[in-house]
Structure 1
């Protein structure tokens, strides 16, 4: 059986914490920023933990 490889796209988008959770950046901060308010842009800069539904999928990508 072949070794399963880590998805490199997932490594770039998610980071694994010490207690096996994943953190990610928020979306909608790439472009079209002129019409977004400062407070909205500030909120979008923060990182959040991945929810339980997405966590199983991301875990498969990381292959730990």
Structure 2
């Protein structure tokens, strides 16, 4: 059987915590920053956690990462 490989796009986007939770960044900060309010930009800078529906999929893509 061939080796399982880590999905490189996911590897760059997601980080695993020690607790096993998966951290992600919020979408919408790459462009049009001048049209967003200061409050909106401040909240988008913070990270967020992956929803429970998507955890299984993301963990399959991050095969060899340990949390």
What is the aligned partner in structure 2 of residue 54 from structure 1?
Answer: 54
TM-score (ref. length: structure 2): 0.91
- Structure 2 partner of 1:8: 8
Deviations 1:9-46 (A, max 9, x none): 11100000001110000000000011100000000000
Q: With structure 1 as the length reference, what TM-score do the two structures score?
A: 0.95
Runs ≥4 in structure 1, deviation > 4 angstroms? none
Aligned residues: 64
Gap regions ≥5 residues in structure 2: none
